[in-house]
């Protein structure tokens, strides 16, 4: 009889990478459901298209059975949540594929990428189709109705849209200096992309992940804090030009970005100290881009910029090794 010989430890916590990933997917289900509630079946179609776009290249070029670890599905869902409900499905598909190919596979697949693949896909769509990605249909209307050019033919020249386009709270604020009631922001009854609108649902789902230690709460906490502080200071200086901290946090993609995008394990720091630095940096950039930049929204670029410096953040925030208190 022969026995298995393995290295110690011979016990394991039982956690696994696919389990973490599928838990994130699970926690995104209510967010997708909320999107479907606000924007009708179109929302689900956009999610499906984007997930399919993410899975396909992973299936073709990724590691064996890489699609089963759940990470590409997350990328697809997250990307969809940043898109406007009326976006043509082929664009959502293309965005997902771009995010996985150029955001993940070229770096060497799972765990090797520097940038959040979902945000990279979104950045690509924004650069390639600036009109489609900033066309926001109104929430409400007939629930079953399709919004926008859902079934547009790929690469056909975009027709002037015949849907009514609503402004997002951030657009209203930036370009028309109009506020939106906070309660609408929290509950999601405003214009915006799929996952931007239901802040409360996102916070609850994030709380679940944080409890299971699948999400480092320090990142969203420090993002919220830093957005609050910087926008609060500006608001105190000139309340008529700069919106207050609560509006800043609950409008646009801050909540979604802070809870689900910035916390992507692969592209965020491994040290706790690093998580605070990372979150603070994102918050600062979000406020700066929104206030001084030409864009109404800044979350995507803020996170991507901070992704780029994660290796340096990790380096300067190494924990103090046990027994080195006095040592230089």
Partner 1 sequence: MRALLRFRHGVHPPERKERTAALETRRMPYPPEVVLPLRQHAGKPAIPLVKAGDRVERGDKIAAADGYVSVPIHASATGTVAAVGLWPHPDGSYDQAIRIAVEPWSAQAARPRLVPEWRGLSPREIVAAVQEAGVVGLGGAAFPTHVKLSPPKDKRIEALVVNGCECEPYLTTDHRTMADFPDRVLLGVRLMMKCLGVPKALFGIERNKPDAIEAIRRALPGDIDVEVLPLTVKYPQGAEKMLIQALTGREVPSGKLPLDVGVVVQNVASVATIAEVFETGLPLVERIVTVSGNGVRKPANLIVPVGTKLRDLLDACGGLSDDASEIVSGGPMMGVSQRDLETPVSKGTTGILVLTEAEAQRNRTYPCIRCGHCLDACPVFLNPQLLGSLALKARYGEMEPLHLRDCMLCGCCSYVCPSHIPLSQIFAAAKTAIRKAKTTEPAKAPA
| Nearest distance, CB of residue 279 and partner 1, angstroms | 14
Stretch that binds partner 1, among 91-99, 141-149, 290-298, 313-321 (CB under 8 A): 313-321
For 178, the token pair is: 């109009």
| Nearest distance, CB of residue 107 and partner 1, angstroms | 11
HSE toward the beta carbon, residue 249, CA cutoff 13 A = 24
| Nearest distance, CB of residue 105 and partner 1, angstroms | 13
Measured from the CB atom, the residue of 111 and 154 that comes closer to partner 1 is 111
Which residues, 6+ apart, have CB-to-CB distance to 220 below 8 Å?
Answer: 206, 258, 259, 262, 263, 279
- CA 208/CA 205 separation, integer angstroms: 5
| Nearest distance, CB of residue 314 and partner 1, angstroms | 7
Q: Cα–Cα–Cα angle for 249, 309, 231, nearest 5°?
A: 25
HSE toward the beta carbon, residue 15, CA cutoff 13 A = 8
Stretch that binds partner 1, among 26-34, 93-101, 178-186, 266-274 (CB under 8 A): 266-274
Considering only CA atoms, which of 205, 107, 102, 90 is closest in space to residue 148?
90
Out of 29, 111, 143, 241, the residue judged to bind partner 1 by CB under 8 A: 111
- CA 326/CA 328 separation, integer angstroms: 6
| Nearest distance, CB of residue 258 and partner 1, angstroms | 17
Which residues, 6+ apart, have CB-to-CB distance to 245 below 8 Å?
Answer: 227, 228, 229, 231, 232, 235
Count of residues that bind partner 1 according to CB under 8 A: 46
Out of 2, 157, 159, 240, the residue judged to bind partner 1 by CB under 8 A: 2
Stretch that binds partner 1, among 120-128, 160-168, 265-273, 277-285 (CB under 8 A): 265-273
Q: Does 126 bind partner 1 (CB under 8 A)?
A: no
Q: Does 159 bind partner 1 (CB under 8 A)?
A: no
| Nearest distance, CB of residue 22 and partner 1, angstroms | 12
Q: Does 312 bind partner 1 (CB under 8 A)?
A: no
Considering only CA atoms, which of 184, 255, 187 is closest in space to residue 220?
255
Q: Does 326 bind partner 1 (CB under 8 A)?
A: yes
Q: Does 4 bind partner 1 (CB under 8 A)?
A: yes
Do 294 and 247 meet the contact criterion of CB atoms below 8 Å apart? no
- CA 117/CA 34 separation, integer angstroms: 23
Out of 216, 222, 226, 307, the residue judged to bind partner 1 by CB under 8 A: 216
- Tell me which residues touch partner 1 (CB under 8 A): 2-20, 69, 71, 109-112, 213, 216, 265-272, 314, 318-327
């Amino acid at each position: 009889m022969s026995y298995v010989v393995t290295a110690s430890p011979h016990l394991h916590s039982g956690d696994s990478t696919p389990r973490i990933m599928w838990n994130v997917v699970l926690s995104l289900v209510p967010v997708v459901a909320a999107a479907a509630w606000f924007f009708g079946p179109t929302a689900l179609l956009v999610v499906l298209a984007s997930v399919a776009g993410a899975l396909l290249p992973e299936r073709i070029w990724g590691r064996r059975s890489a699609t089963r670890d759940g990470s590409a599905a997350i990328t697809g869902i997250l990307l969809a949540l940043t898109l406007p409900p009326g976006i043509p499905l082929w664009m959502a598909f293309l965005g997902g594929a771009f995010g996985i190919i150029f955001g993940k596979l070229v770096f060497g697949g799972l765990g090797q990428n520097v940038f959040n693949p979902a945000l990279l896909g979104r950045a690509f769509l924004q650069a390639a189709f600036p009109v489609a990605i900033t066309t926001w249909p109104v929430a409400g209307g007939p629930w079953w109705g399709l919004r926008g050019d859902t079934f547009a033919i790929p690469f056909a020249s975009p027709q002037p849209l015949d849907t009514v386009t609503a402004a997002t709270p951030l657009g209203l604020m930036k370009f028309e200096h109009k506020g939106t009631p906070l309660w609408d922001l929290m509950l999601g009854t405003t214009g915006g992309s799929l996952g931007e609108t239901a802040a409360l649902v996102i916070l609850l789902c994030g709380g679940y992940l944080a409890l299971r230690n699948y999400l480092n709460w320090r990142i969203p906490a420090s993002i919220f804090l830093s957005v609050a502080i910087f926008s609060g200071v500006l608001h105190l200086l000139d309340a008529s030009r700069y919106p207050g901290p609560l509006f800043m946090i609950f409008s646009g993609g801050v909540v979604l970005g802070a809870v689900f995008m910035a916390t992507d394990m692969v592209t965020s720091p491994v040290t706790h100290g690093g998580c605070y630095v990372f979150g603070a940096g994102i918050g600062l950039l979000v406020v700066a881009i929104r206030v001084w930049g030409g864009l109404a929204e800044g979350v995507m670029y803020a996170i991507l910029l901070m992704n780029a410096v994660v290796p340096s953040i990790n380096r300067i925030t190494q924990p103090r090794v046990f027994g080195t208190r006095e040592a230089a």
